[in-house]
Amino acid sequence: MNASALHEPRPEVDTTLGRVRGVRDQSTGVCAYLGLPYAAPPVGPRRFRPPAPAAGWSGVRDASRFGPPAAQYFDPHEAPLDELVDAPPASVPRWVGSEDCLTLNVWTKASPGERRPVLVWIHGGANWLESSRLRVYHGAALAAAGAVFVSLNYRLGVFGFTDVAALGDESYAGSHSLGLRDQLAALDWVHANVERFGGDPANVTVVGESAGSMDLSWLIAGGHLDGRARRAVLMSGVAGVPGLAQHDDYDFYAEAEGRRQARELYALLGIDGVSQLLATSTGELLERLARAVPSRDMLFHWDSLFYPRVDGTFLPRTPFEAVQAGAARGLDLMVGSTAYEMSLWLLWDDGLDARDPRELARRLPGFPPAVIPAAAEAYERWFGHGGAGSPGLHLLGDAMFVMPALALAALQAQVGGRAYAYQFTWECADPRLKAVHAADVGFFLGTFETPGAEALIGAPGSPRERAARRELAGRMQSALLAFAERGDPNPLDVAPRERWLAYSTELRSLMLFGSPSRVAYDPLLARRSWWQQHVYGRRLPGAP
């Protein structure tokens, strides 16, 4: 929100908890209501417990500023510091945020009585980093274009995705998924309140990217979107870092594996019991975490650590098993990836793209050991020459993001549900990054010109390139808005030969968002077939 464009009178809305006063951008007419509590602060006796209802207030609550991010280690590669704090400190901090973080934000241009489609954004960050307050995640552009846009914070890392029951107290069972429960509490707030902001509570589309998308797949698996959402968009993330991650003697998704990882983390942090954990302050826990971070690998440890687990109750099965059983048949899905996902992790390991694919596959949690030689041979054959990228990074990207997305789309199609599949192919300014993980966010949300987005994709080198970016962003936003409104991402006047068809196991239609964008049919045939034959066949016949 441009401060110079804010003018009185400030807009006000009555919510179920009390009246709020937001801010209006005079140049666009978009109103923003920021930092709205959707659950009680998870502190004191509520620490490491499921979210509780928020208390109401009397008078008018100021909603002109974002709430604090969830308490987290500060990683400058993930987000600009000045977007995570209200006033940057004199020196770079080791951690930012607060445990009192359960707030959401609403952008709307709707008039009273309107019922516009609602987009709810769940941010990424491997479930231990980032925040909805980052400018690349703001919803003003999509609100100006016709949606009501809601973004939310949820508990992260140690506070939201670590199994406290691993310390011996079973009353904390299920704490590996507190962040998911927070997201559901936010969706309940949306359902109860969004009509007051001009949104249609019967037409909610939940959109997640990276960890946000992975979390969304678990909400689908647990049946938790029933009655809360009509559609879901999963951008670069299904189930978890290892993709399907199951072989005969290992299951990454099991609660037992989550507890093993939690015990290892608590030992690293010097925590040996629940009472000690409860007595340790936010700052002390995060200081210990900050000291531990350099001792472990970013990709294969920290970014693979904070994930929901199958627990038989809240999450009774994996997303793949759930969709295969028809759990998402009543949801319209859009699911996709970028064409070179793993180059993002060059920010933490500059030599990652030179690693032998055998080494990378061995380090990937849950990758079937017996197929590693065949995988390395295939990816070296496909990508071992020319400028198409690293064989190892393509192997990891397919394992973690690309093939799980296609698998989910295929399973949804097999049970009679509808899914649209895409791949983002536009290549950013850095030739090593190409179509990097998260590069599509700014184009879908209309925030591609923000500093955070350009820090990843680079600034446009010419007016022509800037115009091309705007054209691509316009096309992607139009597809997202059309999908949110009517479950079909095609413009009403699309030519038949340019139509983006729902995914099927016959045609395997894939929208390639790039320069230019186009629809292709089974463009990843060789790789998809390899994964079906060597990895997925026994467990998920017919997918991807």
**Residue 504: which region, alpha, beta or left (left: phi > 0; alpha: psi -120 to 50)?**
beta
What is the per-residue pLDDT for 4?
A: 43
Query: What DSSP string runs through 430-443?
Result: STTTSSBTTTTHHH
What is the per-residue pLDDT for 6?
A: 46
User: Which residues, 6 or more positions from 341, have their beta carbon under 8 angstroms from its beta carbon?
Assistant: 236, 393, 396, 397, 400, 401, 402, 436, 437
User: 210 an active-site residue?
Assistant: yes
**DSSP-derived 3-state class of residue 112:** coil
What is the per-residue pLDDT for 540?
A: 65
Q: What's the whole-number average pLDDT of the chain? A: 94
Residue 20 burial class via C-beta count within 10 angstroms: exposed 0-12, middle 13-18, buried 19 and up: buried
Q: Per residue in 376-408, is it b (16+ CB within 10 Å) or e — as a string?
A: bebbbebbeeeeebbbbbbbbbbbbbbbbbbbb
Q: Which of 131, 175, 210, 236 is catalytic?
A: 210
What is the per-residue pLDDT for 535?
A: 86
Question: What pTM did the predictor assign?
Answer: 0.96
Give, for all 544 residues of the chain, the pLDDT tens digit.
Answer: 444 444 458 999 999 999 999 999 999 999 999 999 999 999 999 999 999 999 999 999 999 999 999 999 999 999 999 999 999 899 999 999 999 999 999 999 998 889 999 999 999 999 999 999 999 999 999 999 999 999 999 999 999 999 999 999 999 999 999 999 999 999 999 999 999 999 999 999 999 999 999 999 999 999 999 999 999 999 999 986 555 556 666 788 899 999 999 999 999 999 999 999 999 999 999 999 999 999 999 999 999 999 999 999 999 999 999 999 999 999 999 999 999 999 999 999 999 999 999 999 999 887 888 899 999 999 999 999 888 999 999 999 999 999 999 999 999 999 999 999 999 999 999 999 999 999 999 999 999 999 999 999 999 999 999 999 999 999 999 999 999 999 999 999 999 999 999 999 999 999 999 999 999 999 999 999 999 988 887 666 666 6
Tokens of 98: 């607060």
What is the per-residue pLDDT for 386?
A: 80
